Amino acid sequence: MTSNPQGTGPDGVEAEGGGAGRSGTGLPGGSGRGASDAVEPGSGGPDSDRPKRTPAKRIGTRLGVIWTAVVIALILLVLLIIFIAQNQDQVLLRYFGFEGQVALGLALFIASVAGGIVVAAAGAARIIQLRYRDRKIRKNGAKPR
């Protein structure tokens, strides 16, 4: 059997819709298949024996993550500097018998840092507690509760 030129059927008769450069659907630049030759995706068409390709996962590098974190930290630092600069009103603070005047922006910044330290200390205590429990379980061979 010989190969068929585009636009002709298996018996050499010109396909529906015209001459060369036209598909069986009658639209220019089509697939060359007629409506009856359509293959549903996943129905075992001509490409069904090919292995399916999964989309490549994009894996970020450690350097890329660090660079992104630095950029975000710099943006937050600039916003913090603007906040402190716009809140320069002096306020009176009293804390455990100490008293003094400080800029409002600086006082709020110090309070937020102190809050972060409290949260970090609580988290560190919990991590230490869980590691101790895990080490004890591994040593005794007991099952965790």
Alpha carbon separation from 57 to 66, 67, 68 (Å, rounded): 20, 20, 19
Write down the pLDDT at residue 21: 47
Residues of the chain with pLDDT under 50: 18-19, 21-24
Q: Residue 24 CA to chain centroid, in angstroms?
A: 43
Q: Which residue has the tokens 């950029």?
A: 71
Q: Report residue 110 as tokens.
A: 């110090």
pLDDT digits (tens, 9 = 90+) for 34-48: 555 555 555 555 555
Q: Report residue 14 as tokens.
A: 């010109």
Q: Is the pTM here over 0.75, yes or no?
A: no
Return the domain boundaries, the chain: 62-140
CA-wise closest residue to 107 among 128, 89, 126? 89
